[in-house]
Structure 1
Amino acid sequence: MKALTLALIATTALGTALYNPTSASAGEVANRLERQQERIYKGVQQGQISPAEYQNLQRREASINAQRQNALSDGHLSAQEYRQLNRRENRVSRSIYRDRHD
């Protein structure tokens, strides 16, 4: 199982390094934000996310969305902008998971 996980991570990292994001990737970022919002709302509805945690997650999501809008002001995401947004979304995703499972 561990070897499979490492292989998947290596494949994903290689694919990400070779992939040159374009404006299509902006849709991926937006779709991910929507899915994360759904996870947050489900956590609140199920009582797994406290009001303070909710406020923090919403603030962070809004910041990512503002960064995405700013990055798209020239019409496309550069590779660096895409990596930066993806990294921030990964961090928020982990926070959502932790908040829902604490």
Structure 2
Amino acid sequence: MHLTKLALIASLTLGPVAIIAQSTTSTPTTTAPVHRDINQRKENQQDRIGQGVKSGQLTAGETSHLEKQESAINHEEHNMRAQDNGHLTRQDRRTINRQQNQESRRIYRDKHNASKQ
């Protein structure tokens, strides 16, 4: 009986401490906005296109169009970096991010339309 009381007290005491510790480690410690890595987004979008081709959700024409758009974004990024000694300005990052968002929407639309291969 004494042992069960001790176990109950220990669990009631340590339970909230564990919950607090978990919640504090999972929240970000900085307030700065999280910047998505441009290269990671490129890779993710290429993976999404590849998955769409593999599953038959994307037709050859849709795939070609998406790949051309991706290539144009990459070319523009290359030119932006060339103008600023290999760096992207804040405005360049915004522009590329906006273009990648548009491309992401195109990928989604093309994968979820009625066209199948």
2:77 and 2:40 mapped to 1: Cα distance?
12
Name the amino acid aligned to 2:67.
Q
Name the amino acid aligned to 2:54.
Q
2:58 and 2:87 mapped to 1: Cα distance?
34
String of CA shifts for 1:12-50, please: whole Å, max 9, x gaps. Answer: xx948xx7xxxxx7xx11111111000000000000001
Q: Which residue in the other structure is 1:83 paired with?
A: 94
Q: Which residue in the other structure is 2:108 paired with?
A: 97
Name the amino acid aligned to 2:66.
L
Bigger share in helix: 1
Structure 2: gaps (5+ residues): 1-31
- Greater relative contact order (Cα < 8 A, sep 6+): 1
String of CA shifts for 1:39-89, please: whole Å, max 9, x gaps. Answer: 000000000001000000000000001111111221211111111100000
Work out the percentage of aligned pairs sharing the same amino acid. 39
2:80 and 2:38 mapped to 1: Cα distance?
12
Q: Which protein shows a greater Rg? A: 2
**Mapping of residues 21-100 of structure 1, within 5 Å:** 28-73=37-82, 74-100=85-111
TM-score where L is the length of structure 2: 0.63
Aligned length in residues: 80
2:44 and 2:78 mapped to 1: Cα distance?
18
Name segments (4+ residues, structure 1) moved above 2 Å.
Answer: none
Give RMSD over aligned pairs. Answer: 1.8
Structure 1: gaps (5+ residues): 1-13, 20-24
TM-score where L is the length of structure 1: 0.72
